[in-house]
Amino acid sequence: MTEAIADLEPRVRRIVTRWDHDPTGLVQILREVQEEFGYLPPPAAVEIARLLRIPYSRVTGVASFYSFMALQPRGAYRVLFSDNITDRMAGNERLLEALCHRLWVEPGKVSEDGLVSVGRTSCTGLCDQGPALLVNGIALPALTDERVQNIGELILARVPVADWPAEFFVVHDNVRRADVMLAHGLKPGDPIRAALQRGTQGWSERAANERSWREAYVGAAQGPIATLEEVKRSNLRGRGGAGFTTGIKWEACRHATGLERYVVCNADEGEPGTFKDRVLLTSHADLLFDGMTVAAYAIGASRGFLYLRGEYRYLLEQVESVLERRREANLLGAGICGQPGFDFDIRVHVGAGSYVCGEESALIESLEGKRGVPRNRPPYPVTNGYKQQPTIVNNVETLCAAALIAVHGGDWYRGLGTLKSSGTKILSVAGDVARPGLYEYPFGVTIRQVLDDCGAVNTQAVQVSGPSGMCIDATEFGRRIAFEDLPTAGAFTVFDASRDMFEVARNYAHFFAHESCGFCTPCRVGTSMLVAAMDKIHAGNGTQHELREMNRLNRVLLMSAHCGLGHTACNPILDTLKRFRPAYERKLRSLEFTPSFDVDGALGRARQMTGRDDAGAHLEEQK
Amino acid sequence: MNERPTFLLDGAEVAFEPGQTVMQAALAAGRYIPHLCYHPEFKPHGSCKVCTAKVDGRMMAACTTPAATATEVESDTEELNELRRTLVQMLFAEGNHFCPSCEKSGNCMLQALGYDLGVMTAGFRHLFPDRPVDASHPEILLDFNRCILCELCVRAAREVDGKHVFALAGRGLDKHLIVNAESGRLADTDVAVTDKAVSVCPVGVILRKRVGFATPIGERRFDGSPISQQALVDAPRPLEKHHD
């Protein structure tokens, strides 16, 4: 299968050298080697292991964890259809079939001539302009029948993806309602200058992130401390879903003992239905990097990472150019804004198709070049994070909010939103709505208000915060987006009365099984058992037994799963079972026994092999 | 003896040394908490979740949770034992376990745990994965069908043998054990039959060739006493003489 590849070793060596021969860069090295060769040829894996002085099995063990990495050739063109429920609703399955038909390839397989493979992937963060796909890792939204035909022709004509029409790759921001964040009006560096200014207003003009004798003087007027106090006063809470108070996290990290501190921005926006970080990174990257730099100032960090999800690989060059421009403007690097000792720089790590890496400790494992498995906690990243050093991991939107707070102050921010949820929240609105896109509201907005604003009619349900969040029905549209009522990481997926909520839950069940890291028994096996039960109901073979079984699985996952993925994997099923039970019961067989084996189905393979599908090839008494 | 800190395990006091986990302290005190991926000689990692216990009302893996003064730990309750039965059923359903024909029968922790917890039914539809065996090595057989992904061989190779013979690959249900060779064959690794990693497997994956059934069925480790007693016999005891 593997042919000799020209200059393989020097090409691999060049990439490994770029990452300083450091095994913590393994995920990035593998990603770049894959971009170089289209997959990870075993001789390249051998060479990586040799150069990094790590076992070969670690290289393949890590590579096989990430769904975008392949140790076998997958074709010169690798097409992955985004498979979120919103893509399904917009007809992605029909388009996938059409493309496969045109290219004469089976989904999930490589064409016989090695030209192309077509498959499915988890939500690509383009729900406001789906259906979408990734071609050789680059996002391509707004698919239509015509465009899919064109894509087929381009592949068959072997036109390099770089030469495809540029309009295919245009991703729109779709900002529908902007509030203090999306309409911030700040210039690059304003938040940093404001933070430094705040420091000199008091009695001290101390250097930023030197951590020496003056640690003993935790005076409120000290520069970094003053910024920390503003963030604490703002009562800003994490925007990634868990809602931990940002100021407390920063303070714990600042006070933790370590050799070095790290600021990590979690841009691994993997929750199906959310895409706000895509827009923040596209159009407000400076605000984000200002926020990270302010955070570095407050906690005393000199290194930062942006962990960009693999699906947003197409943003990498643009993000890197913003970083470069900021280095030139002295907004990154040594002595930022002329402040002696204020040294900070940011490196971008790109993910490779793993939802669980959005969990902060799994993200850190991935940053360290490992399989993205969540760690045992305690200890938490604020004391034992990247390389076991004090580390803060914050969501993109959280860091952008911190930048606003640095400029306008904690009291200003706290004046927005509700009592327990200060500030604004960006919602990623998609599904059955007239105007999908980003809507930024002060916390406390009702579901009904959002639905009115986005032009949703005849709404049956809203999935708030994606599958790991909550599914609500029309009786609950008076509820509010806030930590005290409906907390959310941002996804807001709308389903009208025509949608089958069972199929919504089934799509999400498949998502969790696909994304389970496999570390713990309950999640590894349990999420697959959930899929089996949902698929059985879908196939018309379900009974009350399956409903009981799913309740039992949920108990097991809640009691014993290792991380949030497992704890929330049952949510979509339980929520829809509670509110839309008829959608399930319609599909159940009213039988007392459990038909676990479909005799006629077992003949399917024989029918396929013989090319027969007539009555004689089926058992009698079907259905 | 000094006053050592204590916590409550199912209502009875258990003394512990600072730094011990709930599991370590319990076993040292002669108290059993069911477990699979925990092994007294290696760093706990808490993946099988069989040792899940309620620590001050929160569900935690006993093997990785640090023992803390005055906490209340519940372990031997019907709720938790039912959870453990389900987890054991999941492990049986995930792999291909045919106890009557398995050389490890009677020495197998998964089987022994199933008996001890009273697992009476399959519980789940078995997944029957396709997992070819690796018989390449002249002295060692790998039968991946029985792997429960406890990583004990991975940890033993790394921590005791100073080698990297075993590793994990894949994700989710596709997670599986691999060996450190480009060919993927055990024969091409630096494994030795005397390695700790070879003897540590709690189930029947890593087997020495030509010694099968040397101990007859009926005289094996868990034939005489259930795993809940055997685990206490095997547990390291506190070394009192360390106290000055």
B92-110: pLDDT as tens digits:
999 999 999 999 999 999 9
pLDDT (0 to 100) of residue A594: 60
Q: Which helix (H) or strand (E) holds B140?
A: strand B140-142
Same domain, B36 and B106: no
Distance CA(A229)–CA(B233), nearest Å, equals: 55
Same domain, B109 and B213: yes
Distance CA(A506)–CA(A161), nearest Å, equals: 34
Q: Which one of B173, B176, B186, B189 would you mutate to disrupt binding with A, by most A Cβ within 10 Å of its Cβ?
A: B173
Q: Which one of B49, B50, B64 would you mutate to disrupt binding with A, by most A Cβ within 10 Å of its Cβ?
A: B49
Instruction: Single out the residue in A140, A172, A204 at which a domain terminates.
Output: A172
Distance CA(A184)–CA(A599), nearest Å, equals: 63
Same domain, A143 and A204: no
Give the distance from residue A13's alpha carbon to the nearest chain B alpha carbon, in angstroms.
Answer: 19
What are the tens digits of pLDDT across the range B114-141? 999 999 999 999 999 999 999 999 999 9
Q: What is the DSSP string of A296-346?
A: HHHHT-SEEEEEE-GGGGGGHHHHHHHHHHHHHTTSSBSSGGG-TT--BEE
Say if A614 falls within a structural domain.
no
Tokens of A598: 């479909």
Domain carrying residue A462: 424-499
Residue found by looking up tokens 């003897």 in the block: B199
Does residue A584 contact residue A537 with C-beta atoms inside 8 Å? yes
Does residue B37 contact residue B200 with C-beta atoms inside 8 Å? no
Give the distance from residue A558's alpha carbon to the nearest chain B alpha carbon, in angstroms.
Answer: 9
Contacts of B34 in chain A (CB under 8 A): none
Give the distance from residue B223's alpha carbon to the nearest chain A alpha carbon, in angstroms.
Answer: 26
pLDDT (0 to 100) of residue A417: 97
Residue A61 pLDDT level (bands cut at 50, 70, 90): very high
Say if B126 falls within a structural domain.
yes
Give the residue from B194, B113, B122 showing the smallest Cα distance to B161.
Answer: B194
Contact A57 B167 (CB under 8 A): yes
Beta-sheet strands, E only, within A432-515:
437-442, 459-464, 470-473, 491-496
Residue A6 pLDDT level (bands cut at 50, 70, 90): confident
Contacts of A58 in chain B (CB under 8 A): 164, 167
Contact A57 B91 (CB under 8 A): no
What are the tens digits of pLDDT across the range A136-149? 999 999 999 999 99
Contacts of B179 in chain A (CB under 8 A): 57
B122 at the A interface (CB within 8 A)? no
Same domain, A132 and A55: no
Q: Which of A54-58, A598-602, B106-110 has the lowest mean pLDDT?
A: A598-602
Contacts of A511 in chain B (CB under 8 A): none
Distance CA(A231)–CA(A248), nearest Å, equals: 9
Contact A528 B87 (CB under 8 A): no
Contact A56 B93 (CB under 8 A): no
Which among B45, B49, B178 has the least Cβ separation from residue A61?
Answer: B178
pLDDT (0 to 100) of residue B230: 92
Give the distance from residue B218's alpha carbon to the nearest chain A alpha carbon, in angstroms.
Answer: 30
Q: Residues A423-439: what's their mean pLDDT?
A: 98
Percent of chain A with pLDDT over 70: 94
Residue A3 pLDDT level (bands cut at 50, 70, 90): low
Q: Residues A160-164: what's their mean pLDDT?
A: 97
Same domain, B178 and B122: yes
Instruction: Single out the residue in B76, B108, B131 at which a domain terminates.
Output: B76
Same domain, B123 and B217: yes
ipTM reported for the complex, 2 dp: 0.95
Distance CA(A521)–CA(B89), nearest Å, equals: 10
Contacts of A42 in chain B (CB under 8 A): 182
Contacts of A519 in chain B (CB under 8 A): 47, 175
Same domain, B57 and B153: no
Contacts of A555 in chain B (CB under 8 A): 83
Same domain, A57 and A81: no
Does residue B197 contact residue B191 with C-beta atoms inside 8 Å? yes
Looking at residue A575, which CATH number applies to its domain?
1.20.1440.230
Does residue A542 contact residue A398 with C-beta atoms inside 8 Å? no
Looking at residue B49, which CATH number applies to its domain?
3.10.20.740
pLDDT (0 to 100) of residue A210: 45
Domain carrying residue B24: 6-76
Same domain, B101 and B218: yes
pLDDT (0 to 100) of residue A618: 86
Check whether the bond before A131 is cis (ω within 30° of 0).
Answer: yes
pLDDT of A595 over the 80 cut: no
Distance CA(A362)–CA(A370), nearest Å, equals: 9
Same domain, A428 and A392: no
Does residue A347 contact residue A303 with C-beta atoms inside 8 Å? yes
Same domain, A352 and A404: yes
Q: Which residues contact A13 (CB under 8 A, 6 or more apart)?
A: A47, A51
Q: How many domains are there within chain A?
A: 5
Percent of chain B with pLDDT over 70: 96
Identify the residue with better confidence: B192 or A622.
B192
pLDDT (0 to 100) of residue A589: 79
Q: Residues A110-128: what's their mean pLDDT?
A: 96
pLDDT (0 to 100) of residue B233: 87
Say if B84 falls within a structural domain.
no
Same domain, B113 and B153: yes
Amino acid (one-letter) located at A413: Y
Give the distance from residue B62's alpha carbon to the nearest chain A alpha carbon, in angstroms.
Answer: 11
Q: How many domains are there within chain B?
A: 2
Residues in chain B: 244
Q: Which helix (H) or strand (E) holds B154?
A: helix B152-156
Same domain, A232 and A378: yes
Q: Residues A409-434: what's their mean pLDDT?
A: 97
Does residue A76 contact residue A103 with C-beta atoms inside 8 Å? no
Contact A61 B166 (CB under 8 A): no
Distances (CA, A) of A222 to A200, A249, A261, A413, A447: 8, 19, 19, 21, 42
